[in-house]
Structures are given as structure tokens and as C-alpha cells.
Amino acid sequence: MELRFDFYIGATPEHVWHVLTSEEGVKHTFFGSVIRSTFQVGDDLAYVGPGNDGDETVHVYGKVLAFEPQQTFSFLEHPGPSYHANHAELQSRVTFQLEPVGGCTRLTLINDQWIEDHPSFANASNHWPMILSNIKTYAETGKTLDFGY
């Protein structure tokens, strides 16, 4: 099982990278969450924000696999504890790749290495296009999309 999306964004790789990894960018494009991580390979990572457990809900957590500024950001992820009792057993890999294309940036998201029968696959396939559209819009305009949440 693999999810793959390519988006072309009218911004530099440096700016798109900032949106993907800065507290400000993530908070605007990931529905109020922030990333907590040192971004060192092998270190912990968590997307934390408003949700089932209040403002400090852990939506996703895992380990950093790759962090090459303006190029690649990859991590193993588990759904947060409030989503599934067996969250530690549920895993996939998320990889963001940036590539300059003319005067824009191609952002490729690959979400793969899903364990068999992962209950979050359908949810991810619906939410990644929304998040990526939000990243594109925010990088290009400084505004986010209104999804009614």
C-alpha cells in the first residue's frame, strides 16, 4: 500500500521547506498542530495540537529517518494514542521530497510501508490532499484553505 502525491508550488524549495518544518508553517497547514523534534536522524518526532485530548493531543509520533534541508524529510509514524489502542503496533513511513522545477517547486509526498490492515490508511488517503493543498496555498499566498473545521 502506498499513497503518492505530487504538487507543484509557486515558491522556492527554501520557502516550501520552511512551511513544512517551521512551527509557524506547520501550525497553519496542519490544522493547528506543531512538530516537536530535534530533526536529527533517529530522534523522536510528534505532531501535537488541538484534538481528542485537548490542545496537546499527539496526532502522530515516530522517528526521524532523513532530514536534508530543502530536499528530503522522512519519518516512521504511528497514530497518536487517542486514535487506536494498539497505536504502537501501527506504522507507516512518510517522506516529503522537494525538487526545483523551473521557477517552482515539486513537492512529492510518499506515505508507504503501511503495516497490513492499518486502520488509518483510508483516513490518510482523504486527508493528505487537503494538507498538501493547504501547504501549496500557504506557500503561495500566506493564507490557508477553509475546510470547515
Write the pLDDT tens digit of every residue in 68-113: 999 999 999 999 998 888 999 999 999 999 999 999 999 999 999 9
Name the nearest CA neighbour of 78 among 109, 52, 117, 114: 114
**Residue 149: pLDDT over 80:** no
CATH of the domain at 113: 3.30.530.20
- Distance from first CA to last CA of the chain, Å, rounded? 28
Q: How many domains does the chain fold into? A: 1
pLDDT tier at 147 (50, 70, 90 boundaries)?
Answer: confident
pLDDT score, position 84 = 86
The whole-model pTM stands at: 0.93
With respect to residue 149, please indicate whether it lies within any of the assigned structural domains. no
With respect to residue 116, please indicate whether it lies within any of the assigned structural domains. yes
Total Cβ atoms within 10 A of residue 6 = 12
With respect to residue 91, please indicate whether it lies within any of the assigned structural domains. yes
With respect to residue 146, please indicate whether it lies within any of the assigned structural domains. no
With respect to residue 148, please indicate whether it lies within any of the assigned structural domains. no
The residue range of the domain holding 46 is: 3-141
Angle at 112 between CA 108 and CA 113, to 5 degrees: 155
Average pLDDT over residues 19-34: 93
Grid coordinates given for 104: 517552482
With respect to residue 100, please indicate whether it lies within any of the assigned structural domains. yes
With respect to residue 30, please indicate whether it lies within any of the assigned structural domains. yes
With respect to residue 147, please indicate whether it lies within any of the assigned structural domains. no
User: What are the start-end ranges of the E strands in the chain?
Assistant: 3-9, 34-37, 44-51, 54-68, 72-79, 92-101, 104-112
pLDDT tier at 36 (50, 70, 90 boundaries)?
Answer: very high
Q: Position of cell 505532531?
A: 47
